[in-house]
Amino acid sequence: MKNSLKHQLLKRTLIPLIIMTIILVAVSISGLYKANSDQVKEELIRDADLAMYVFDTVYTGEYWAEDADGDGELEMYKGEQRINGEATLIDDLASKLNIEITIFYKDVRLLTTLKDADGNRAIGTNASVIVKNDVLETGNSKFYSNVMVYDAKSYAYYEPIRDDEGNVNGMIAVSRSQESVRQKMLWYSLPVLATCIITAFIIGYVMVYFNRMLANRISKMGVYMKTLANGVFDEEMPRDITAKDDEIKSLANDGKRMARAIKTLVEYDPLTALYNRRFADRKLEDVRVKAVEMGIKYCICIADIDFFKKVNDTYGHEMGDHVLKEVAKKLKEGMVGKGSAARWGGEEFLLIFEQRELDIARRELSMIMDQVRTIWVPDSDRQITMSFGLTALEPGESVDSVLQRADANLYEAKETGRNQIICK
């Protein structure tokens, strides 16, 4: 009977379950997409800096252009060497980084990897008015998460090129199509989607089977799962749900494991198993509030592996990953009972010392640094060392301010010899 209690309970339990699952999937995938967008931005900024470095290393002098032949086409130079007659370097660099690279003189593309359907390069085409106003006119770098780059929706980062006098005379642009990023995100999203669907199916099955006797417990579990769907992964599970050792208890535990799995995806770095930058940003804001409201003392440190690029270049990226894992292990062990450690990006790490004066944090950091020095690249004579920029968080100080000071200390440590702690 459609109006029987069984069917009524079925509708009243399954409909909220479906909605809850949709919300959970939406929140989880939305978080992954946001994290991925931030990662793409960081990668494009890094790639733009790398491209600038490569061109500055291979060619010397300033960028300039002229129409020497009088044929209406500009020839682009860097110093005395023409660079837009041969595209091998820029093509190789773009291929290795899996991006598109363009160098503008003013707002005109004179060197680019962008091509149309016939294989013709976009030489001589102009940047959009928006990019021109945002970058050339202001002299500031700009990241776009949804911009048309030569008729393709893309993520793009534009960085101004300056001459020796500091005037902006062009731009370097790096971009990656949204389609390629979307395909990558699909593979990241499938495990989350599959976990949510499988768990929801199990929940629904148990609810249907026990709906008459266990309606109250199922209702409470639905409330708990909605809490997880809203991103509150540390919420305590109601005792009524686990009061009996039956399928409902098992189902609730599955939901908790799913929450841990999603929390791991969102908050932890997959390579080092440390907290990721997304979590660290939230932690820093929490630290700032506690420093003001509760008077808790905190010290912030940004650390960087010395000569890490040489490790990658000499021994390969697999060895580089091994070094990152070993360093992360030492940092995590060293911060037990002292605070938390997170991977800040690349070979940089963030350490947060809780309830520590600056001199105590420095002594503890020295012991961590000594432990890092025990790491050697396997089968080599290369020792791994790190540079540290340590500072204290002042009550009322912004997160950006303390990070800038820690970063400045790290920069000084790197510039004055590395393998040391600069504490100010």
- Catalytic residue list: 347
Tokens found for residue 20: 């809850």
| Cα 304 to Cα 302: distance, rounded to the nearest angstrom | 7
Separation between Cα atoms, residue 47 and residue 113, nearest integer Å: 14
**Which structure tokens are listed for 261?**
């799995």
Q: What angle do CA 113, 132, 126 make, to 5 degrees?
A: 45
Tell me the C-alpha distance between 223 and 227, whole Å: 6
Task: Report the candidate in 113, 107, 62, 56 with the shortest Cα–Cα distance to residue 84.
Answer: 113
- Find out whether 168 and 139 touch, Cβ atoms under 8 Å: yes
Q: Using CA atoms, how far apart are residues 161 and 391, in angstroms rounded to an integer?
A: 33
DSSP string, 319-359: HHHHHHHHHHHHHHHHTTTTEEEEEEETTEEEEEEES--HH
Query: What does the block give as tokens for 86?
Result: 């041969």
Query: In terms of Cα–Cα distance, which of 302, 389, 380, 376 is closest to 346?
Result: 302
Contact 157, 175 (CB under 8 A): yes
